[in-house]
Structure 1
Amino acid sequence: MQILVVDDKVNIHESIISLLQQYNVDVDVAINGLDGYEKAIVADYDLYIIDHLMPIMDGLQLVKSLKSRPNTADAPILFMTTKQLSYVEKLAEFPLFSAVIHKPIVPESFYQVINQLLPQNTVRQSL
């Protein structure tokens, strides 16, 4: 199971990688939407975690690009934003998101959403 995290902040990459340690997943990172798009063209990701506001190509442009390509169109997208949910719900791209999470990320909320988006067998078993 492969996940691509697209955010321009390194601390967000590190935080999400840390939160995903309990899952049997490989995590790749991209520093902006264009970087994420280029990685998505050559790799096969099972989930995209995408920030809203980034330089070069923002999250909305990336989501539209991913959903327009046959090999990436069906992968779930967790959209991260600092904007209020009422704002995000009005975006034309809102139906393209599998889920939306508010930043800063609250671990409990993150896990709740991730558990809905990932297959049950990706959670590592405690020893």
Structure 2
Amino acid sequence: MNILVVDDKRSVRDYIEKMLTAFGHSVSTAANGLDGFEKAQQSPFHLYIVDHLMPLMNGVTLSKNLKQTPACAQTPLLFMTTQEIKDLESLAEFSLFDGVIKKPLIEADFIALVHRIINDSAIKIAL
């Protein structure tokens, strides 16, 4: 799977890239939402992993832009946040997320959620 990780913290990007490549995934990274949006338009990805609070373009705006772009719209999106997930549920854009996970990440939970999202999207494509 080709995965795009968008997070403004290099340590988080590096940590996620290390976890995902250990499972055989190909990982590209972006340092903010604008960088991530540009990369998403240049190459196809099987999954977007997007941080919530970033400079230039936050994760909610990036998610909205990705889902409004035909070439990106069907790609599943995992949203990461330091806020309480229940606080995000009131966002109009919450339905754009195929999964939401709280940071700091717990490796086993993160990997399980990534694989669930990938498997769920594969089932949708097969139907």
Name stretches of at least 5 consecutive residues in structure 1 with no aligned partner. 121-127
Name stretches of at least 5 consecutive residues in structure 2 with no aligned partner. 121-127
1:71 aligns with 2:93: no
1:100 aligns with 2:96: no
Distance apart, 1:105 and its partner CA? 0.4
- Within 1, Cα distance between the matches of 2:83 and 2:40? 25
Distance apart, 1:18 and its partner CA? 1.5
The corresponding residue for 1:21 is 21
TM value normalised by structure 1: 0.90
The answer to whether the Cα contact below 8 Å between 2:32 and 2:56 also exists between their aligned partners in 1 is yes
1:27-70 CA distance string (max 9 Å, x none): 00000000000001111011000000000000001000000011
1:72-127 CA distance string (max 9 Å, x none): 0000000000010110111111000000000000112102201202249xxxxxxx
- Within 2, Cα distance between the matches of 1:12 and 1:62? 18
1:1-127 matches, within 5 Å, as 1-119=1-119
RMSD: 1.2
- Within 2, Cα distance between the matches of 1:21 and 1:31? 18
Q: Secondary structure at the match of 2:92?
A: coil
- Within 2, Cα distance between the matches of 1:119 and 1:52? 23
- Within 2, Cα distance between the matches of 1:21 and 1:74? 23
Name which structure has the greater RCO, CA cutoff 8 Å, separation 6+.
1
Q: Secondary structure at the match of 1:118?
A: helix
Structure (1 or 2) with the greater helix fraction: 2
Identity among equivalent pairs (%)? 45
